[in-house]
Amino acid sequence: MRQALDIALKDLRRTYRDVPALAMMFAAPLAIALLLGAAFGGSGDFSIQPIKTVVANLDRGAQTGVSGQPGAAGAGPDLIQVLGDQSLASLIDLTVVNTEAEARAAVDDGKAAVAVVQPQGLMAAAASPQTDGADFLVYRDPTSSLGPGIVTGIVRRYADGLNSARAAAGAAVELGLRSGGLTPDQLGPVAAAAAHEFAVRTDSAGLGPTLKARAPQVGVTESARDVGVTGPVLAGMMIFFMLITGSTQARTILDEQRQATLQRLFTTPTPRGVVLAGKFLSVFLIVLVQAVILLVAGRLIMGIHWGGVAPVAGLTLAGVAVAAGLGVFLLSLARTEAQATVFGTGVLLVLALLGGNFIGTADLGGWYHTVRRLTPNGWLLIGWDSTLRGGGLGDALLPIIVCLAFASLTFVAGALLFRKRLL
- Contact residues for another protein, defined by CB under 8 A: 2-3, 6, 10, 13-14, 17-18, 259-261, 263-271
**Residues 254/340, Cβ–Cβ less than 8 Å:** yes
Nearer CB in complex with another protein: 266/350: 266
Nearest alpha-carbon partner for 323 in 294, 296, 302: 294
Nearer CB in complex with another protein: 3/186: 3
**Residues 396/313, Cβ–Cβ less than 8 Å:** no
Distance CA 423, CA 418 (A): 8
Distance CA 330, CA 167 (A): 64
Burial category of 60 from C-beta neighbours within 10 Å (exposed 0-12, middle 13-18, buried 19 and up): exposed
Q: What Å distances lie between residue 152 and 40, 104, 122, 337, CA to CA?
A: 22, 15, 17, 56
Nearer CB in complex with another protein: 266/398: 266
Nearer CB in complex with another protein: 270/339: 270
Nearer CB in complex with another protein: 8/322: 8
Closest distance of CB 12 from another protein, Å: 12
Nearest alpha-carbon partner for 288 in 268, 250, 317, 315: 317
Distance CA 380, CA 135 (A): 50
The helix/strand/coil state of 52 is strand
Closest distance of CB 366 from another protein, Å: 48
Closest distance of CB 312 from another protein, Å: 33
Angle between helices 309-332 and 337-355 (to 10 degrees): 140
Nearer CB in complex with another protein: 2/421: 2
Nearer CB in complex with another protein: 6/45: 6
Closest distance of CB 252 from another protein, Å: 11
The helix/strand/coil state of 97 is strand
Closest distance of CB 273 from another protein, Å: 12
Closest distance of CB 367 from another protein, Å: 46
Closest distance of CB 332 from another protein, Å: 21
